[in-house]
Structure 1
Amino acid sequence: MKNKIKLFLVDDDAVFLKLLEIEFLHHADFVIETYPTGEKCMECLSHDPDVIILDYNLDDIEKDAMNGMETLDKIKSYNPDIPIVMLSSQDNIEVAINCMHHRAFDYVVKSETAFVRLQKIITTIFRYRKMEKELNWYMARMS
């Protein structure tokens, strides 16, 4: 169980959320929790997700719900080390840059290739973490 990656998927589009969940479960060994709002995701951060894929808008279900940027900021306040990948239907460089300024790990446009991009990003996150652990181990041995 511990070697599985715990993935939070947060999107107010129920169909897209289900498709994403099915893709991840079909292609890799993940434990997946899905949430329709940022508030619901925040309530469950104690479940210690390894990665969060977060919709940029998040206002289709409840009009006064937190949007993706507000959710991103709150998650980063709770734990700045959780990698968050923003997902949006907006193919807009300003939106992407703004997400990065708010410490998102990456930004993906919802499209036919979104799942493949998300898989590659998650692989990159874990490759980076492994290198970081090895570097820390090496530095500890040198001191």
Structure 2
Amino acid sequence: MKNENKIKLFLVDDDAVFLKSLEIEFLNHCDFDIETFPTGELCIANLSKKPDVIILDFHLDGIDKSAMNGLATLDEIKKFNSDIPVIMLSSQDKIDVAVQCIHHEAFDYVVKSETAFVRLKKIITSIFLYKKMKKELNWYMDRM
């Protein structure tokens, strides 16, 4: 499969170990074009590469307190292109954090756990099913 046909996935997390393990899981189980970023600033600087999906950590300021956090990064991504689906990741299993992410237009929220990768794969599948249905509906509506 040519590279331009692959899903372009951005992974953004300041936890180097978690970021690498997530990258390895996707490389071993999916045929995606993956780019990883340790900061929101680097992710934003690369948005011109047109990612299909971004998986973004909620706390990106764990190492550098002056770094842009996940919600601020999400807001900048949505300003750049509101159609890019962003899945938020956090070690916090708190409903108010999840609600906050959804209010900032995240597609979904996943708690970092041993089942996070499986959940992320299912969400990405649903994103592309939704996009396909939306495209087909628009095609149909244009012909009415």
Range of TM-score over shorter length: over 0.9
Stretches of structure 1 that go unaligned for 5 or more consecutive residues are none
TM-score, normalisation: structure 1: 0.97
Matches within 5 A, 1:1-143: 1-142=3-144
> Residue 135 of structure 2 aligns to which amino acid in structure 1?
K
TM-score, normalisation: structure 2: 0.97
Query: Residue 33 of structure 1 aligns to a residue in which SS?
Result: strand
The C-alpha deviation readout for 1:11-67, integer Å capped at 9, x for no partner, is 000010000001001111100000000000000000000000000000123210000
- Counterparts of 2:106 and 2:90, CA distance in 1: 13
- Counterparts of 1:101 and 1:6, CA distance in 2: 25
- Counterparts of 1:44 and 1:2, CA distance in 2: 16
- Counterparts of 2:109 and 2:10, CA distance in 1: 16
> Residue 103 of structure 2 aligns to which amino acid in structure 1?
H
- Counterparts of 1:120 and 1:73, CA distance in 2: 24
- Counterparts of 1:139 and 1:117, CA distance in 2: 32
Query: What CA RMSD, in Å, does the superposition of the two structures yield over aligned residues?
Result: 0.7
Spell out structure 1 runs of 4+ moving beyond 6 A: none
Stretches of structure 2 that go unaligned for 5 or more consecutive residues are none
- Counterparts of 1:2 and 1:111, CA distance in 2: 31
Identity across matched positions, percent: 73
How far did 1:107 drift? 0.3
